[in-house]
Amino acid sequence: MEFREIVAPSIKELFVQQLEGMILSGQLRPGDKLPTERELADAMKVSKTVVHDGLRELHRLGFLDIVSRKGVTVADYAQTGSLDTLMAIMRYHGGLPDKKTAESILKLRYYLEGPAMELLAAHHTPADMAALEDFQRQAEEAAKQDTAAFAEALFRYHRGVTFLSGNTITPLIFNAFTQVNLEFWREYVEAYGVEACLDTLHRFTELIRERQGAEAAALLKNGLERFQQDRV
């Protein structure tokens, strides 16, 4: 058994976490102007360097706007944020998204994977189908283990669809949501059962093999919409 070193957060990280929390909780709202760096340093009992670096980190994460000689204001991060902003929001919620963000992630998954299924169905080669069938076999084996292993195998199958479609960017975006997607898959397996999940997986493979991409995408959409409704 190996124990990992416990590393305490730095003062800068604690500064960033506190302001993130104030912004995400609504204590600080878009457009609110922050005190000067000196005032923040005095109020929070930290160095001006910590404040300076922390504010720039929050700017990088999309939470703050910094304009020379005009000061620092809270940004409308829903419009100006990035994937880093989303990751910060999920960290604030314990690593998982809130309800609204979860719904948006499920919709994004369809926007990514639905077209990928259609592309793969239209243009797959024998090698592509062999790879997809291998992902399916891995899921079948994982189904004999436990929910966590099966959920991970289902994730790999669907990520594999995006990769085999030929778009090199889509799998990278898919990977950004690995943690939350694994949690969704665990919920999905527990809600509908292993056999139903395997039946759907086999249906995806069959539709893609038969070049019925629109039908595969529709099956995906219906499943995601059902899951979204049932988990409310």
Question: Tens digit of pLDDT for each residue in 26-68?
Answer: 999 999 999 999 999 999 999 999 999 999 999 999 999 999 8
Mean pLDDT of 133-152: 96
Instruction: Note the pLDDT tens digit of each residue in 2-11.
Output: 677 777 889 9
Q: What is the pTM of this model?
A: 0.75
pLDDT above 80 (res 214): yes
Residue 80's pLDDT band (cuts 50, 70, 90): confident
**Residue 82 pLDDT:** 85
The more confidently predicted of residues 52 and 231 is 52
The tokens describing 192, both together, are: 């509908």
State the angle between helix axes of 48-60 and 37-44 in degrees (0 to 180), rounded to the nearest 10: 110
**Residue 2 pLDDT:** 66
Mean pLDDT of 182-186: 91
Task: Please state, in angstroms and as integers, the Cα–Cα distance from residue 90 to each residue in 28, 61, 80, following that order.
Answer: 18, 13, 17
Domains with residue ranges and CATH for the chain: 11-86 (1.10.10.10), 96-230 (1.20.120.530)
Instruction: Note the pLDDT tens digit of each residue in 91-120.
Output: 888 777 778 888 888 999 999 999 999 999
> What is the separation of C-alpha 11 from the centre of its chain, rounded to a whole number of angstroms?
27
Q: What one-character DSSP code corresponds to residue 6?
A: P
**Residue 92 pLDDT:** 84
Long-range Cβ pairs for the range 13-17 (8 Å, 24+): 15/44, 15/46, 15/50, 15/51, 15/54, 16/54, 16/57, 16/58, 16/61
